[in-house]
Each structure stands twice: as C-alpha cells, then as structure tokens.
Chains A and B, each alone.
Chain A
Amino acid sequence: MTPASWPCPLPGGGSAGEYALVFDSGRQDRLLIVPALFDEGNKLRRLAFDVMRRLDAAGIDCFLPDLPGCNESLQRLEAQKPQDWLDATVAAARHFGITHVLGMRGGCLLTPAGLPVWHYAPVKASALLRQLLRARVLSSREAGREERREELEETARTSGIELAGYRMGAAFYRSFEDMVPSGDAVIIPQESIGGSGLWLRAEPDENRAQADALAAMIMTGIGA
C-alpha cells in the first residue's frame, strides 16, 4: 500500500492535491473506496485497509482517497459542501480509472454514479448528525451546560456548528442533513458480513472475519 496524490477540484475552479492510499499495479479491476465520515471514518479505517489488502491479493487494485477537509487534507473542513465531496469522488474515480465503487457507511452518500457500486451498511446523513448532536448534548451536560438538540440544529443551519471536533459550515449542514444514499447500489448490510459494526466501538478496532467476508463479497461481485 502506498500513498498517492490526486488532483481534487476546488469549488472556485482549479484543483489541489489530496492524498489517497492505493494498491495500484495497473490491473484491470480498480475499486474506489469512499470512506465513512467523521468519527466513523476513524473507526472503520482499519477495516477499509484490511479489505484493500485482501482485494490486492486477489488481483484488484484499490484506492482510498481523502475527501477535501478530511484526514490528511490541507483544505478546511468548514469550507466544504457536500457537492464538493461528490465532485471529489467523481474526480478521484476519473483520475484513477476506477471500474467499481464501495461506499462505507456515510461514504455511501457520496459514491459517484455510473459505475457498479456497493454500499456497506449505508446510513442517512440525518442519522449521522443525530448521533453527533447527541454526543454534543451529552458532553455539554457533563461540562454543566444545558443544550437542546433543536436549538443546536437551528444554529447549525444558520451559522455552522462544531460536532465531535468536526467544524461544519452552515451551507454544508443545510445540504448534508437531507442526503440519503442513492438507490442504484448493491447493499451489503452488516448482518451479511457477521458480527456487529466496528463503527459502534468506543475505540477503533479490527475484525479479520468481517474483512474476509466483505472482501469476498466484493471479489464475487467483480468476478475476480
């Protein structure tokens, strides 16, 4: 696995380099993984790597890009809008010559159209936000501040908000909150790979059996 750079479009025109972790041997089958979002991205990163290693061994090239404003990106998260992320995944798919796509959890909201797509444990944006807002209410209460979810949502829509350390702009929040995964994907529910979702864990963890099962489903789907 090696880091690679790819040109990610900027909202005002032009592009800026973003990183991706890749297994690229110029093979025919090339899978883009759109990572899980926010806190879940950390929890599922190991699973994504483990799946990539298995697919590489099966002869499939794999690409895990950073979305602008996330992970190693030099862009500000607060300046992003969901459309920028959609443009980013489309650009990554084009740059790497992608043939198949796997979205993980919130990443399923951002999978580019027009290619065969799998959605692993897809989630609506509203469900992701509900959990982040709840975490904020809980931590504020622990600190002796009383906050209400409805008021936080209103603040988020008008002036942006920081949730679990992620600073989201108002424009981001307003278009993100109604997003749902597109209906043209093959869904891989958690039950089909066994065990419970690693995004639930309080601490990031790994699970080889789940990685085996998820990779096997992708291999079968690609026909590799």
Chain B
Amino acid sequence: MHDHTDLLLRQILTDVLGLKQGQADSFDAETGLFGHLPELDSMAVAGLLTELEDRLDIVIEDDEIDGEMLETYGGLLTFAEGKRAGQ
C-alpha cells in the first residue's frame, strides 16, 4: 500500500509539475510543495487533488484540505495513505 501510493503520488506530481521522469524520485518527506514551489498555485493544487481522487479512487472533502497536508511531500503522502486505508 505504502509503495503503491508513494509511486502514484510521485507520478501525479511529475505530471502536474512537468518534471522529467525520475526527477520526483528525489522528493523526501521534507520536500516543500504548496507555498514552496511558485508554479504550484491554487489551480494547480486543485488539479493535483482531483487527479489524486481519480487515480487513488478516493474522495477528498474541502474541509480535509489544510496547509499541513499540502506543505510537504511527506504531509501529502501521509494524507493520501490515510484516505486509502479508510476506504
């Protein structure tokens, strides 16, 4: 479960940020996302979350979205794994 979610999340970030394949491999738990990457504006984050829902088959409520889960790669991964476990 962990590895699969982790891989999917890296792929989605690769797609949204237009990274080269493999570039997202260097992301670790502390890698900054929303607020750290200028191209990751609210529209891009909305797209990222919608992709996350489609590819992980989860539903994300607006009140679940907070600064902490979006701030770092680790925060987003923990959130995604929690949502999948709760299905």
Contact = CB atoms under 8 A, between A and B. Distances in A.
Contacts of A39: 43
B30 interface: no
A171 interface: no
A130 B47 CA distance: 10
Q: How large is the interface on B (under 10, 10 to 19, 20 to 34, 35 or more residues)?
A: 20 to 34
A202 B65 contact: no
B50 A127 contact: yes
B43 A137 contact: no
Interface residues of A, number: 24
A208 interface: no
B27 to A, nearest CB: 15
A202 B16 contact: yes
B39 A202 contact: yes
B18 A201 contact: yes
A37 B22 CA distance: 31
B23 to A, nearest CB: 14
A196 B17 CA distance: 11
A196 B15 contact: yes
A39 B50 CA distance: 15
A205 interface: yes
A202 B18 contact: yes
Contacts of A142: 42
A132 interface: yes
A135 interface: yes
A200 B62 contact: no
Interface string B44-87: 11110111000000000010010000000000000000000000
A201 B46 contact: no
Q: Which of B18, B39, B40, B65 has the most CB of A within 10 A?
A: B18
Interface in A23-62: 39
A131 interface: yes
A149 interface: yes
A134 B62 CA distance: 7
Contacts of B44: 201-202
A138 to B, nearest CB: 4
Interface of B: 11, 14-18, 39-47, 49-51, 62, 65
Q: What 6 A-B pairs are tightest by C-beta distance, nearest first?
A: A202-B44, A196-B15, A135-B46, A139-B42, A138-B42, A134-B46
